[in-house]
Amino acid sequence: MGANASTFHKTIQDIKKNDPSLSELDFKNFALGDARMQTLADALRTNNTLQRLVLSNTGCTSTGLRQLSDTLVNSLYVCNIHTLVLDNNPIGPDGAQYVAMALTSGQSLITLKINGCGLGDDGCVTVCRGMTSNKSLLTLEMGSNSIGDRGAAAVGRMLKTNEHIEGLSLWKNGILSAGAKSIFCEGLSVNASLQWLGLGGNAIGPDGAGWVAQGLSTNEGLQWLALGGNSLRDEGAVKIASVLKDDGCQLQSIGLGGNGITDQGVSYIAKALWSNSYIESLGLGGNTISSEGCEHLSEMLKINKSVRKLIIASNVIEDDGIKAIADGLTVNSQITTLLAAGNPFGDEGGQYLCHQVCTGNKSLLILDIHNSNMSEGIERGIVEKLRSDSKLSLLGSHYGRRDHRIIRGGDNDELLDATKTPYMSPARRDVTVAPATYRGSETF
């Protein structure tokens, strides 16, 4: 909506009309302040058509949130707002008590996003306390809130008793190994409802990885787990591998990007997947995997029957490494996505990969090879070859289409001018098969 008083006034009037066509309101980046929040809250008291309310970066303080929370709980009509987005507001620990009040007394919310709201440990404890008796909320996002181990302990206690939550994001907080122990060994060891967990950008380290593995060994619900950027290193990778081996857990997707994992660590992950029939997506981007690690991944691809998405972007994979991956593709008939961008393989490796994809693999649909060390002429030739002879539907290359689609039959190719148009990886177009509540994103 426009950032002016007349637009706001008209929006308030529309809310009061209770028009069924008004199901979503987006005030993102509109400076509401406490006075306008009060006006909005009053208008919502007689509205039962609004379902999604976005208040990101509106200057909503604890005072404004108190007004909104009171409306959510005490509307004259039944409140039907199921999605509330409060990201990047100065709510703080004081405002968290009103979030908890809405969670405790109101039962309409299904999705709540409070990322970047300065909750800290105190605010996290308060929100989790409100979640203890809540039976409606399925997705809770509390990323970038300076939550530490004390807050994580509250999350663990909440997961131990809440049997309804399906998705939880705790991205980019300050959770260490002790916090990982609380979440996985106290909470997830008994919780069966949580399906996805975003824990990337914390610092649980190798010790935390051990607690993750211990909790996963008895968990029967978690399917998607993002652990990118947690300084796991090879020692942590070994611990994660121990629970992946022989179907020790039921995870379908795991993200381990940006963890300082080398060829040694990836060898354990790859060998664990020889006997794993659950993992469908494996994220290893942003590590230091080279040709030796790719040999282990190649052997895994030849044996494993479940992996459909492999992310090895931004490693140190040269020609021999990408060749090894290509050889694995010729045996594997399940993999549909390979993201290998940002690696230093050159013309020889790129051409070999292209040949194997075109002649030896019939399942691959998405491939990203941009930002390699291939020469322009060779990469353009590879794009043309893949377009004509492969089964790909999306291809990431600076010399492919803007939307990454593979067009066949003489259609306009709309080649991308790399000097004028910013590149966007086809990874963003790959829709993960996930629960309807899934809101996590794991690029690595």
Of 138 and 46, the one with more pLDDT: 138
Q: Is the pLDDT of residue 134 over 60?
A: yes
pLDDT higher than threshold 50 for residue 101: yes
The pLDDT of residue 408: 58
Mean pLDDT of 137-163: 97
Mean pLDDT of 161-178: 97
pLDDT-wise least confident of 51-60, 91-100, 138-147, 410-419: 410-419
Average pLDDT over residues 179-184: 98
The confidence band for 76, taking pLDDT boundaries of 50, 70 and 90, is: low
pLDDT at residue 417 is higher than 80: no
Confidence at 406, pLDDT banded by 50, 70, 90: confident
pLDDT mean across residues, the chain: 90
The mean per-residue pLDDT over the stretch 259-282 comes to 97
For residue 75, what pLDDT is reported? 61
Q: Which residue did the predictor score with more confidence, 312 or 398?
A: 312
Given pLDDT bands bounded at 50, 70 and 90, which one contains residue 46?
confident
| pLDDT tens column, 185-215 | 999 999 999 999 999 999 999 999 999 999 9
Which of 96-110, 336-350, 417-431 reaches the highest mean pLDDT? 336-350
- Per-residue pLDDT of 207-251, as tens digits, reads 999 999 999 999 989 999 999 999 999 999 999 999 999 998 999
What is the per-residue pLDDT for 442?
Answer: 42
With beta carbons less than 8 A apart as the criterion, state whether 134 and 166 touch.
no
- 167 strand-pairing partners: 139, 196
Segment 97-110 shows an average pLDDT of: 90
CB count, 10 Å around CB of 421?
A: 10
In this predicted structure, what is the pLDDT of residue 216?
96
Task: Determine what percent of the chain is predicted with pLDDT higher than 90.
Answer: 79
How many CB atoms are located within 10 Å of the residue 77 CB? 12
Poorest-confidence range of 115-124, 304-313, 324-333, 417-426? Answer: 417-426
274-315 pLDDT tens trace: 999 999 999 999 999 999 999 999 999 999 999 999 999 999
Q: Using CB atoms within 10 Å of the CB of residue 73, give its burial: 0 to 12 exposed, 13 to 18 middle, 19+ buried.
A: middle
What's the pLDDT at 290?
A: 98
Residue 426's pLDDT band, with cuts at 50, 70 and 90, is very low
pLDDT for 105? 85
Would you say residue 1 has pLDDT above 60? no
pLDDT confidence of residue 194 = 97
Q: Say whether pLDDT at 419 is over 60.
A: no
Predicted structure pTM score: 0.90
Q: What is the pLDDT of residue 110?
A: 96
pLDDT of residue 409: 52
